Structure 1
Amino acid sequence: MQTTEVDMAGFAKGNSFTLVAEDPVGYRAKVSPNIVAVRTLNDGSSLTYAALDDRIARCASLLHGLFGSRGDQFRVAGLARNCVDLLVLAFACQRIRAIFVPLNWRLNAAELSAIIADCDPELVVYEPEFEPVAKGLAEHAPRVMLFPFGGGPDGLDARLAAAGPTVRLKGDADLPAILLYTSGTTGTPKGVILTRRNLFYSAVNFSFVGEVTPGSVTFCDLPFFHTIGLVAIARTTLMMGGTLVISDRFMPDRTIACLNDETLGVTHYFAVPQMASILRDQPGYAPDRMRRLKAIFIGGAPLPPPLVAAYLADGVALVNGYGMSEAGTVMHMPLDADAIATRHGSIGFPAPLIELKICDQDGREVDAGEIGEIWLKGPSVTPGYWNKPDQTQAAFTNGWFRSGDMAKRDEDGFHILADRLKDMFISGGENVYPAEIEGVIAGHPAVAEVAVIGVPDSRWGEVGVAFVVLRPGESVSEETLKALCAQTLAAYKRPAHIVYSDAIPRNAAGKPQKHVLRDHWSKNPATAEA
């Protein structure tokens, strides 16, 4: 797409452009210092852009004083539910050429330890709720320093109060700024590298498709360890000069109260389909009090058409999109009621600064109506994975990032996700990779073979079903296998169902035929047998 090339070369090719090479809060602190930048829903606190900028500057000074002697690109990890200071850490790291690593607090200690071993941070700042986990991580990283968010003599508040603001170091737009960890199909955690340039253009893309402006009030209770929370929502809002309302967790009654608060005037809310369904069933749901709401933005899974229609009947737009850690916002439905009502299942058009094509297995673009893999190019696309050159090389073909997701487009240019090239499924808005679960179950001595699929679930969107073949003469209970998974896997990854089978259907190449397993499950989910 020619527009992208012009923007990249003419708009921000050099490193001197402040918003690309650095963070946007400093600019907003100059031009709109007294506008409220962030509000925290659970304690009612707020910070103006001037106050937020000062806190970031003090944090940058603190981090540079602690670790600056080690050079650029040292890593700082944050382990906490959504809070202002996770964003403060992220922006402070960018100002001094360090790298911020938001940790998924839903993972267990074993999973987090693998991430810590890979990114090797100098510091982990943790929420007191997660102190035992943080101290356990330190056992696997002897050089790491730990201290908590919040108060106390060793807490972040006291350290920032003692620190003076620092001058920003000249940035390089193409240095890593954030690592977002996402599990691969092998179950090995991968750190997606996001540079300053990636972050800037990801925010620009969402500002276009989400119509985020200086008057926007965005509300986020999706976690900041995902790209939608940390980049699409938080970074876009602060870049555009809006107000970001932060919730530390999804609590339906509190979320409804916030959306109904006409003095706050939320314009953008973000959810997964299960959250949207729960909210509409709340006793306090009052769409007539959400008159400033442009839309509820949905990610993580397809939207059920009846839910879209029900919200539209209430005058609330429920819009779906498609994005990924490696590229940010990729596609999105327009905020148009007619398009939303008539394009069920669509994820809309590519974002303006994304080049996208749908390709067959040989890399040739397919025609409208044909299914192919989504290939991407553009300034928001990651340069690769941390410490994984082979996987980085495998992810790109002739400069195009291969998403691993299948889609088709219609004659009008609307896109629909058709299938996943990989076997990933999405449970409660979280990506789940069957190979990781299979590896755990296969470790039991009674198990000969295992294959895991995702199946529809009314509560979580999808859950896992593990088809297990036992060794001759061996036995193991469903409870034992689930307990084994609980030792090493986060709750959302653990299979909801165990099905014992005589064999796993395989093709001539020996690969499991998971479509056969899905067919068996759909016909008789209670006792599906392969």
Structure 2
Amino acid sequence: MDYVRLHASLRADSPAVTDLAFNRQWTYGELDHLIAGCTALLQEKGVSEGDRVACLSKNRAEFIMLHLASARLGAIFVPLNWRLSAAELEVIIADCSPSLIYGDDLATELKVEAQDIEQLLPQCEKRNPVWPPQPSVDLPSLMLYTSGTTGKPKGVLLSERNLTETAINFCLLGEVEPGSRFLCESPMFHIIGMVTSVRPPLFLGAQIIISDRFLPERTLERLADKDLQISHYFCVPQMALAMRAVDVFDASSLCGLKAIFTGGAPHPEAQIREWLDDGIPIVDGFGMSEAGTIFGMPLNRNLIDQKVGSVGIPTPRLQSRIADESGRALPDNEAGELQLKGDNVTVGYWNRDSVYADSFTLDGWFKTGDILRRDEDGYFWVVDRKKDMFISGGENVYPVEVEAQLVKFPGLKDLAVIGVPDEKWGEVGCLYYVPKEAGWEIDMAELDSFLTSRLARYKIPKKAVAVESLPRNGVGKLMRHELRKLTVSE
């Protein structure tokens, strides 16, 4: 489903991609030609159907070129998370075994052997472009790594059919038009940065404007820039809050935005209404690596105000239900697991066939593991995230993964990690521990130093509490809900 190729025929001179960090811009005709050159380069390097091509870099236009060139060959593009530690990246690279890795200076810092991404564009321009026959749309073309509840990384496989379905779903919910302009600042190793900020505009022949990272004051300037004319912007609630805290914040300068789209973390109602009072729709939604865009709020400010806190509604292209543990569909306003059917649902987990099979009910519904409820008007509300997981600054953190490293830290007899509320990050990790020696306390600086080489920064606990014992049931299983109650009482 090559929509760049389509729009190269329909609107060759229309702007397709602007890369702000490097002051570069391509029309659809130019982008299609570059992707064809990149396809030739990958072929020359031996890449073929099913091979993996990885990239470790800050946001840049080469992500799009590598992904779409890989897709044209039936290969799989793997954007790597530069927020991980070198040890964590080593595990992922060993798992996906890429034929090629491209990287910027981050690759050097993280000790990943990679080809210089600075040389990719000139190399593509020197090749004779090729347009091979389109592979099956059901072949995976993108792999996004996400940690599982066991703490082991899972490679979520997304086909061109999956990715196109997400594009359609968001176009419908987000009121995307050919004249829309998306500012892509979310990291392109995430579903928001690599898919939701890219595929909807490419689907309709709109424009993608790529930024290397989020800087609150600079982002505000770009959202207000009358030359850029940004219409769609994605962020986590913490980013939206950071923009409002900028000294020069002026909501009236953002009137050109169709909306600010948020997700990935709980969004306080008071913060949503601040934006609404300023005349700016701030639109919460719900999605996941395995299924892309699932729900979204309307862009109508009155409807947002009436349903503040909801993550919205699905499009008719997606089947969703709330079910109990036996798989029975629940009535409105009862909480249960969100389950899905549709062409947006992942085609597999890399090297995890049994895990993938276990992710479906016997009657074919994908089990998200998220607890939601649907109200009488068809709007969905998040009740709880995946069991035990918490979200810090929009990043999923699984306590088991953190605890697996903490057991190596000296002085701990027993330990557990949970997420606790935090004004800046939404949630942060809190370590509850039983010391081996009574009266001993953790030095947080030592803990931070110990974990820095083992875990991404956002996974490292920011708080620690000593306790006499951890709550466990009769068979020794940790009862995290009792720790959460303890947090509330504190």
TM normalised by structure 2 equals 0.96
Equivalent residue in structure 1 for 2:107, among 130, 139, 148: 130
Aligned residue for 2:348, secondary structure, equals coil
- Give 1:409's aligned residue: 374
Cα distance change on mapping 1:110 and 1:430 into 2, 3 Å: same
- Give 2:482's aligned residue: 516
- Bigger shift: 444-453 or 221-230? 444-453
Aligned: 1:498 with 2:467:
no
CA distance in structure 2 between the partners assigned to 1:484 and 1:173 by the alignment: 45
Aligned residue for 1:407, secondary structure, equals strand
- Give 1:448's aligned residue: 413
Checking the alignment, whether the CA contact within 8 Å between 1:446 and 1:474 is kept in structure 2 is: no
Checking the alignment, whether the CA contact within 8 Å between 2:85 and 2:452 is kept in structure 1 is: no
Give 1:470 shift. Answer: 2.8
Q: Which runs of 5+ in 1 are unaligned?
A: 1-18, 139-145, 525-530
Aligned residue for 1:320, secondary structure, equals strand
- Give 1:358's aligned residue: 322
- Give 1:104's aligned residue: 81
- Give 1:50's aligned residue: 29
- Give 1:5's aligned residue: none
- Give 2:117's aligned residue: 149
Aligned: 1:63 with 2:28:
no
- Give 1:236's aligned residue: 200
Give 1:486 shift. Answer: 1.6
Give 1:241 shift. Answer: 0.8
CA distance in structure 2 between the partners assigned to 1:40 and 1:273 by the alignment: 25
Equivalent residue in structure 2 for 1:278, among 242, 249, 265: 242
Aligned residue for 1:511, secondary structure, equals coil
Give 1:445 shift. Answer: 4.8
1:474-493 alignment runs, 5 A limit: 477-479=442-444, 480-493=446-459
Q: Could you report, residue by residue, the CA deviation over 1:50-102 in whole angstroms, capped at 9, with x for unpaired residues?
A: 1111111100100011114xx41111001111110111100000011111000
Equivalent residue in structure 2 for 1:318, among 282, 293, 304: 282
CA distance in structure 2 between the partners assigned to 1:256 and 1:348 by the alignment: 26
Aligned: 1:507 with 2:473:
yes
2:430 partner letter: V
Aligned residue for 1:248, secondary structure, equals coil
The aligned length equals 488
Checking the alignment, whether the CA contact within 8 Å between 2:291 and 2:345 is kept in structure 1 is: yes
CA distance in structure 2 between the partners assigned to 1:474 and 1:162 by the alignment: 67
Aligned: 1:465 with 2:430:
yes
Aligned residue for 1:245, secondary structure, equals strand
Aligned: 1:260 with 2:239:
no
- Give 1:527's aligned residue: none
1:232 partner letter: T
Give 1:110 shift. Answer: 0.5
CA distance in structure 1 between the partners assigned to 2:123 and 2:231 by the alignment: 35
Give 1:473 shift. Answer: 7.0
1:281-292 alignment runs, 5 A limit: 281-292=245-256
1:36-435 alignment runs, 5 A limit: 36-68=15-47, 71-133=48-110, 136-138=111-113, 146-150=114-118, 155-398=119-362, 399-435=364-400
Aligned residue for 2:46, secondary structure, equals helix
Aligned: 1:436 with 2:411:
no
In the TM superposition, structure 1's runs of 4+ consecutive aligned residues that sit over 6 Å from their partners are none
2:452 partner letter: A
Checking the alignment, whether the CA contact within 8 Å between 1:257 and 1:284 is kept in structure 2 is: no
Give 1:379 shift. Answer: 0.2
1:501 partner letter: V
- Bigger shift: 478-487 or 34-43? 478-487
Aligned residue for 2:108, secondary structure, equals helix
CA distance in structure 1 between the partners assigned to 2:22 and 2:44 by the alignment: 31
CA distance in structure 2 between the partners assigned to 1:509 and 1:366 by the alignment: 31
Q: Which runs of 5+ in 2 are unaligned?
A: none
CA distance in structure 2 between the partners assigned to 1:164 and 1:115 by the alignment: 33
